Amino acid sequence: MEANVTDERKFNRLIAVVSIVIPLVVAILFGIKIPNVEPLSFLPPIYATINGITAVLLLIAVWAIKSGNQKLHQQLMTTSIILSLLFLVMYIAYHMTSDSTSYGGEGVIRYVYFFILITHIVLSIALIPLVLRTYAMAYLKKFDNHRALARYTFPVWLYVAVTGVVVYLMISPYYVY
Protein backbone atom coordinates (compact mmCIF):
# COMPACT_ATOMS: atom_id res chain seq x y z
CA MET A 1 0.00 0.00 0.00
CA GLU A 2 2.86 2.41 0.84
CA ALA A 3 4.38 1.99 -2.64
CA ASN A 4 1.02 2.89 -4.16
CA VAL A 5 0.82 6.12 -2.08
CA THR A 6 4.41 6.99 -3.06
CA ASP A 7 3.63 6.27 -6.72
CA GLU A 8 0.52 8.44 -6.53
CA ARG A 9 2.53 11.33 -5.06
CA LYS A 10 5.10 10.99 -7.84
CA PHE A 11 2.33 10.98 -10.45
CA ASN A 12 0.71 14.02 -8.85
CA ARG A 13 3.97 15.99 -8.97
CA LEU A 14 4.60 14.97 -12.57
CA ILE A 15 1.01 15.78 -13.53
CA ALA A 16 1.29 19.23 -11.91
CA VAL A 17 4.52 19.99 -13.76
CA VAL A 18 3.24 18.73 -17.12
CA SER A 19 -0.06 20.59 -16.66
CA ILE A 20 1.83 23.86 -16.23
CA VAL A 21 4.64 23.28 -18.73
CA ILE A 22 2.51 22.23 -21.72
CA PRO A 23 0.32 25.38 -21.84
CA LEU A 24 3.38 27.59 -21.24
CA VAL A 25 5.40 25.92 -24.00
CA VAL A 26 2.44 26.05 -26.38
CA ALA A 27 1.95 29.77 -25.64
CA ILE A 28 5.65 30.47 -26.20
CA LEU A 29 5.86 28.41 -29.40
CA PHE A 30 2.62 29.95 -30.66
CA GLY A 31 4.42 33.29 -30.74
CA ILE A 32 7.43 31.98 -32.67
CA LYS A 33 7.40 31.92 -36.46
CA ILE A 34 10.02 29.83 -38.20
CA PRO A 35 11.50 32.07 -40.91
CA ASN A 36 11.82 31.01 -44.55
CA VAL A 37 9.69 27.88 -44.11
CA GLU A 38 6.81 26.89 -46.32
CA PRO A 39 3.53 27.19 -44.34
CA LEU A 40 2.17 23.81 -43.30
CA SER A 41 -1.28 24.74 -44.58
CA PHE A 42 -2.22 21.08 -45.15
CA LEU A 43 -2.29 20.40 -41.38
CA PRO A 44 -5.60 21.93 -40.17
CA PRO A 45 -7.87 19.38 -41.86
CA ILE A 46 -5.61 16.60 -40.59
CA TYR A 47 -5.63 17.74 -36.99
CA ALA A 48 -9.37 18.44 -37.16
CA THR A 49 -9.83 14.85 -38.35
CA ILE A 50 -7.68 13.66 -35.45
CA ASN A 51 -10.03 15.52 -33.10
CA GLY A 52 -13.01 13.82 -34.74
CA ILE A 53 -11.42 10.39 -34.47
CA THR A 54 -10.59 11.07 -30.83
CA ALA A 55 -14.24 11.94 -30.12
CA VAL A 56 -15.39 8.67 -31.72
CA LEU A 57 -12.77 6.65 -29.82
CA LEU A 58 -13.86 8.24 -26.53
CA LEU A 59 -17.46 7.19 -27.19
CA ILE A 60 -16.38 3.65 -28.11
CA ALA A 61 -14.16 3.51 -25.00
CA VAL A 62 -17.12 4.34 -22.76
CA TRP A 63 -19.18 1.67 -24.50
CA ALA A 64 -16.28 -0.82 -24.06
CA ILE A 65 -15.96 -0.26 -20.31
CA LYS A 66 -19.73 -0.38 -19.80
CA SER A 67 -19.68 -3.69 -21.69
CA GLY A 68 -16.97 -5.01 -19.38
CA ASN A 69 -14.17 -4.91 -21.95
CA GLN A 70 -11.44 -3.30 -19.83
CA LYS A 71 -8.64 -4.20 -22.26
CA LEU A 72 -10.33 -2.52 -25.24
CA HIS A 73 -11.18 0.49 -23.05
CA GLN A 74 -7.53 0.82 -22.01
CA GLN A 75 -6.31 0.55 -25.61
CA LEU A 76 -8.81 3.14 -26.84
CA MET A 77 -7.97 5.58 -24.07
CA THR A 78 -4.23 5.20 -24.67
CA THR A 79 -4.82 5.75 -28.39
CA SER A 80 -6.89 8.84 -27.59
CA ILE A 81 -4.04 10.28 -25.53
CA ILE A 82 -1.56 9.59 -28.33
CA LEU A 83 -3.89 11.20 -30.88
CA SER A 84 -4.28 14.25 -28.63
CA LEU A 85 -0.51 14.59 -28.41
CA LEU A 86 -0.24 14.20 -32.19
CA PHE A 87 -2.88 16.91 -32.59
CA LEU A 88 -0.91 19.22 -30.30
CA VAL A 89 2.35 18.72 -32.22
CA MET A 90 0.63 19.40 -35.55
CA TYR A 91 -1.23 22.40 -34.16
CA ILE A 92 2.01 23.94 -32.90
CA ALA A 93 3.82 23.16 -36.17
CA TYR A 94 1.05 24.82 -38.17
CA HIS A 95 1.08 27.96 -36.05
CA MET A 96 4.88 28.18 -36.11
CA THR A 97 4.86 28.20 -39.92
CA SER A 98 1.61 30.01 -40.74
CA ASP A 99 -0.06 33.29 -39.89
CA SER A 100 -3.16 33.04 -37.75
CA THR A 101 -6.42 33.04 -39.66
CA SER A 102 -9.03 35.61 -38.69
CA TYR A 103 -12.62 34.47 -38.48
CA GLY A 104 -14.60 36.28 -41.17
CA GLY A 105 -18.14 35.50 -40.07
CA GLU A 106 -20.43 38.34 -39.07
CA GLY A 107 -23.34 38.87 -36.73
CA VAL A 108 -24.50 36.30 -34.19
CA ILE A 109 -22.43 33.50 -35.74
CA ARG A 110 -19.26 35.46 -34.93
CA TYR A 111 -20.19 35.42 -31.22
CA VAL A 112 -21.03 31.72 -31.44
CA TYR A 113 -17.64 31.02 -33.03
CA PHE A 114 -15.72 32.92 -30.37
CA PHE A 115 -17.73 31.31 -27.56
CA ILE A 116 -16.92 27.85 -28.93
CA LEU A 117 -13.26 28.77 -29.54
CA ILE A 118 -12.70 30.27 -26.09
CA THR A 119 -14.42 27.42 -24.23
CA HIS A 120 -12.48 24.94 -26.39
CA ILE A 121 -9.15 26.56 -25.47
CA VAL A 122 -9.90 27.00 -21.75
CA LEU A 123 -11.21 23.46 -21.38
CA SER A 124 -8.30 21.99 -23.38
CA ILE A 125 -5.93 23.49 -20.80
CA ALA A 126 -8.03 22.18 -17.90
CA LEU A 127 -8.17 18.80 -19.63
CA ILE A 128 -4.45 18.14 -19.29
CA PRO A 129 -4.43 17.38 -15.54
CA LEU A 130 -7.85 15.72 -15.77
CA VAL A 131 -6.72 13.21 -18.39
CA LEU A 132 -3.37 12.56 -16.73
CA ARG A 133 -4.87 12.10 -13.27
CA THR A 134 -7.66 9.86 -14.58
CA TYR A 135 -5.14 7.76 -16.48
CA ALA A 136 -2.84 7.59 -13.44
CA MET A 137 -5.68 6.31 -11.25
CA ALA A 138 -6.33 3.48 -13.71
CA TYR A 139 -2.60 2.74 -13.92
CA LEU A 140 -2.41 2.56 -10.12
CA LYS A 141 -5.50 0.31 -10.16
CA LYS A 142 -7.49 2.80 -8.09
CA PHE A 143 -10.57 2.16 -10.17
CA ASP A 144 -13.05 3.89 -7.83
CA ASN A 145 -11.01 7.09 -8.08
CA HIS A 146 -10.58 6.53 -11.82
CA ARG A 147 -14.35 6.21 -12.32
CA ALA A 148 -15.07 9.27 -10.18
CA LEU A 149 -12.63 11.42 -12.18
CA ALA A 150 -13.73 9.96 -15.52
CA ARG A 151 -17.23 11.32 -14.88
CA TYR A 152 -15.71 14.79 -15.33
CA THR A 153 -12.86 13.98 -17.70
CA PHE A 154 -14.98 12.24 -20.34
CA PRO A 155 -17.49 15.04 -21.05
CA VAL A 156 -14.79 17.72 -21.02
CA TRP A 157 -12.55 15.70 -23.36
CA LEU A 158 -15.47 14.90 -25.65
CA TYR A 159 -16.43 18.60 -25.75
CA VAL A 160 -12.85 19.63 -26.56
CA ALA A 161 -12.56 17.01 -29.31
CA VAL A 162 -15.91 17.86 -30.91
CA THR A 163 -15.45 21.63 -30.66
CA GLY A 164 -12.03 21.25 -32.25
CA VAL A 165 -13.80 19.94 -35.34
CA VAL A 166 -16.50 22.62 -35.13
CA VAL A 167 -13.90 25.41 -34.85
CA TYR A 168 -12.09 24.03 -37.89
CA LEU A 169 -15.30 23.78 -39.93
CA MET A 170 -16.29 27.32 -38.97
CA ILE A 171 -12.91 28.91 -39.79
CA SER A 172 -11.87 26.76 -42.78
CA PRO A 173 -13.57 29.00 -45.38
CA TYR A 174 -11.25 31.82 -44.26
CA TYR A 175 -7.94 29.97 -44.59
CA VAL A 176 -5.56 31.39 -47.17
CA TYR A 177 -3.85 28.61 -49.11
**Per-residue pLDDT reduced to its tens digit, 69-110:** 999 999 999 999 999 999 999 999 999 999 888 999 999 999
pTM: 0.92
15-19's contacts with Cβ under 8 Å and 24+ in sequence apart are 15/129, 15/132, 15/133, 15/136, 16/129, 18/128, 18/129, 18/132, 19/128, 19/129, 19/132
What is the model's pLDDT at position 3? 58
Q: What is the mean pLDDT of residues 148-155?
A: 97
Instruction: Report the CATH fold assignment for 2-174.
Output: Four Helix Bundle (Hemerythrin (Met), subunit A) (1.20.120)
Domain boundaries of the chain, sorted by first residue: 2-174
Average pLDDT, the chain: 94
C-alpha 126/C-alpha 23 separation (Å) is 10
3-class DSSP state for residue 158?
helix
Q: What is the mean pLDDT of residues 55-80?
A: 98
- The end-to-end CA distance of the chain, in Å, is 57
Find out whether 116 and 166 touch, Cβ atoms under 8 Å: yes
C-alpha 1/C-alpha 7 separation (Å) is 10
What is the model's pLDDT at position 6? 84
C-alpha 157/C-alpha 58 separation (Å) is 8
